[in-house]
Every structure is written in C-alpha cells, then in structure tokens.
Structure 1
Amino acid sequence: MIRRYWGLAAALVLALVFAAASVLVSAGRGDTAEAKPLTPVATSADAGFARDMAVHHEQAVEMSFIVRDRTLDDEVRRLAYDIANTQANQRGMMLGWLDLWGLPKNEASQLPMAWMGMGMEPGADGALMPGMATNSDLNRLRKLSGKDAEVLYLQLMTEHHRGGIHMAQGCVRRCTVAPEKQLAQGMVDAQKSEIDLMAQMLKKRGAAARSN
C-alpha cells in the first residue's frame, strides 16, 4: 500500500513541475491574454480541500499513533502504521501545494467545508469536520488498551474515513488542479477499501462500525 502512494507522490511532483514549466513558457510567449489562471485563490475548492483535508489527516495520524501504543495486535498496528504513513505523506503534499500557490494554511475568513457549500461551525467537543473524532473520543482511546482500544480505533477510523471520502468526492467534483483531483480520487478508492477491511477486523472482534 505504501509503495502505491510513493508512486503517486512521484507522479504528482512531476505533474507540478510540468505545470510550472507550462506557465513559464506561456509567459515567455506573451500569451497572457489567452492563458487561463492556473493558481487557485484562497476561497477556491482546491485551496479549501487542501487546508481542510490536511487537518482531517492530522487527526487520523494522531489516532493511529495512539492505538499503536495501546495494543500489541500485529494486524491493528500494521493498519495504523499504513494509515499514519499514507496520510502524513498526503498531508505533506497538500501543505506543499498551499506553499506553492502562496496561500495560507489557515484561512480565518473561511469556515471548514465552505468550499463544498457547507460552512460548518466547529463542534463543541473538538470535531471540526465530518467524521472527525471528538476530544472525548480521543481521551477515551488513550485510556483503553488491548481489544477495547482496537475496537474503538477501528470504529473511529471508519467514521473518519467516511467523512474523508465525502470531502475527497467533493474535490473530485469541484477542484480544478488535475494532480489534486487525482490525489482525491485515490483517497476515495483507498479509504473505501480500508473501510471494508476494518469491517472485517471489527467482526473478528465481535463488534461493528457505529451507525452514521
């Protein structure tokens, strides 16, 4: 799974290099009148998705590190390792794009999900966007161990992936930067597969995902 994302990362870097080169070539030809704007603005879906999903991913990494220290189960620790590494790498890509575009990583004038036409106010218990765990959820996970920690982690991560898929599908529909749309579609495909895997892991532990 990790090799697949490293390959995607390399493809995205090349795509950004070619995109930057095309801008320089157009500028050199004096084609500014016909050139379409290639840099997203702060209120665009491209920038909003990059900002919001970076925050969303940050929590997934945090939860994965928590459960790594709360269980000795190889299967859960392997899944947590894969999720933490994949989402940390993707988060780095999205923050890198914001730097490349000269845009802030935090936009005070934009509520989370505003780029999707939702504009969610932060929740009272720390859940900033769909699928994100609350502060109470995280505190509970830190106190559990063994099977109990495994079950809660799998339930929380299933919800987290559902919210992430919703956001990524929004980018596939609304974003304009091709490499970002490609990354978003990759998130949809990978996280759907991981939800199926986590359902099987929960079943083995006599549990199930929490209702939406």
Structure 2
Amino acid sequence: MSRTGEDDGDLAPAPPPRRPDRTQWAAVTAVALALLFAGGAVTVASAEREEAPATPGTLSADAGFARDMAVHHQQAVEMSFIVRDRTRNEEVRRLAYDIANTQANQRGMMLGWLDLWGLPKIESGVEPMTWMGMGGSGDTGPLDGALMPGMATNAQLDQLRRASGREAEVLYLKLMTEHHRGGVHMAEGCVQKCSVDIERNLAQGMVDAQKSEMLLMADMLAKRGA
C-alpha cells in the first residue's frame, strides 16, 4: 500500500456539526425581540404624532380661557397691590402678596401659551366668556368695568383706593372672595372644555387653591366682625 493510502486510512472522521447551545439561542432570541420591540415603538410613536391634538384655534375654549383669565387675574393683582398700601395688618398683606405673586405668574403662563399657539392676546369682536357660552348675547356690555364674573367695578376699585385700615381690609376680603368665586366658575369651565392637558391641570389647580383661599378669607372676615 502506498504512503498516500496509509495516510488516507489514518484520517479521523469529520466531527458532526455543532448545535447552538442555550446561551447562543438566548442571544439570538434577545436580538430578535429587541428588533421587534423597536419596530413596535416606532409604530406607536408615529401613531401618537398623528393623533396629537392640533394647536388650539382662536375661538377655542383653550384660547378663550387663557385670554379671559389673564384679564381676570390682572385685576386680582391690582387689588392686592392696592390693599398692601392701605393697611399695615401683616395677615392681610401676606395674603395679598401670595395672591398677587401666584396670579401674576399664572397670567404669564397663559399669555405665553397664546404666543406659543400664534394667537392674539385680544380677539377683536369676541366678547368675554364667549368660550363658555356666556358672551355674544348682544348686551350693551359689562357694567362699569366688570368684564367677567366676580370682577370688581371701577367704582369699587376707587372705594378700595380711598379706604384704609380695617375698612380697606374688609372691603378687599369681600371683593376678593367674589373675585375668586367668579374665577373658580371660569376655571371649572376650562376643566370641562379645554383640550390642552397642561391648561386643564392649571385650571384645576386654580379651583383647588382659590376655594381654599375663600375659606381663609371667610375666617379673616369673621375675625373682623364682617
């Protein structure tokens, strides 16, 4: 027998193909699942973008509430600054500061949303509270500057400016209680009608905070025999 033949006969048979062990199968499965979930995430994200609400229109409840409540808040800030200078009572001054600071910040947020939405801060030809179904009635207009529910008249603001001490405190607390009552009514309307989540959340926060302040002001009035 030739050398070559002897070599051929001595060769060991080829080993059978190796089957992937459990670790390899786990790795392959993990990659497949990752690709599957990634594809699903892209699909969900695309669907969310397609279903996202459009920017509120100028006659929407979102825009109407932002405009009207910005005006409503501005008067609360004004009244709070007036009483701060008309009394030395720290309890009333502290309440006035809290209301002025909170409502000035909220007013800035609402005006900022209107800018973000590309909408005017004043919509000509649209009466206040139209977004709640309370405007556009063809009436002669608000009485003496009281544009919305709870707002003080110009005469009441002048009276507050002339008052001092306990008289100013009592008048402010009464006017602000009515102001909050009207503000709560408007904010509850936004909670029901507005479509932007962050705005609805702000409105609900107004409802909760102002109801709490109304209870506080009732106690303060009782202390003053009013």
The TM-score range, normalised by the shorter chain, is: 0.7 to 0.9
For normalisation by structure 2, the TM-score amounts to 0.76
Per-residue displacement from partner, 1:103-159 (whole Å, max 9, x unpaired)? 000001211000001106542311000000000000000000000000000000000
For normalisation by structure 1, the TM-score amounts to 0.81
Alignment partner of 2:67 out of 42, 46, 51 = 51
What is the RMSD computed on CA atoms of the aligned residues? 1.9
Shift of 1:80: 0.0
Alignment partner of 2:125 out of 109, 114, 119 = 109
| 1:92 partner letter | G
Distance in 2 between the 1:156 and 1:29 partners?
50
Equivalent residue, structure 1, for 2:31: none
Distance in 1 between the 2:98 and 2:114 partners?
25
Equivalent residue, structure 1, for 2:91: 75
Greater C-alpha Rg: 2
Query: Aligned pairs, how many?
Result: 181
Structure 2 residue 113 is the aligned partner of structure 1 residue 97: yes
Equivalent residue, structure 2, for 1:197: 216
Change (3 A) 1:38 1:68: same
Instruction: Give identity over the alignment, percent.
Output: 73
Equivalent residue, structure 2, for 1:165: 184
Structure 2: runs of 5 or more not aligned = 1-41
Alignment partner of 1:144 out of 138, 154, 163 = 163
Structure 1: runs of 5 or more not aligned = 1-24, 208-212
Q: Which moved more, 1:96-105 or 1:37-46?
A: 37-46
Per-residue displacement from partner, 1:66-98 (whole Å, max 9, x unpaired)? 000000000000000000000000000000000
Where does structure 1 differ by over 2 angstroms across 4 or more consecutive aligned residues? 28-32, 34-38
Distance in 2 between the 1:135 and 1:40 partners?
33
Q: What secondary structure, in the 3-state scheme, does the structure 1 residue paired with 2:55 have?
A: coil
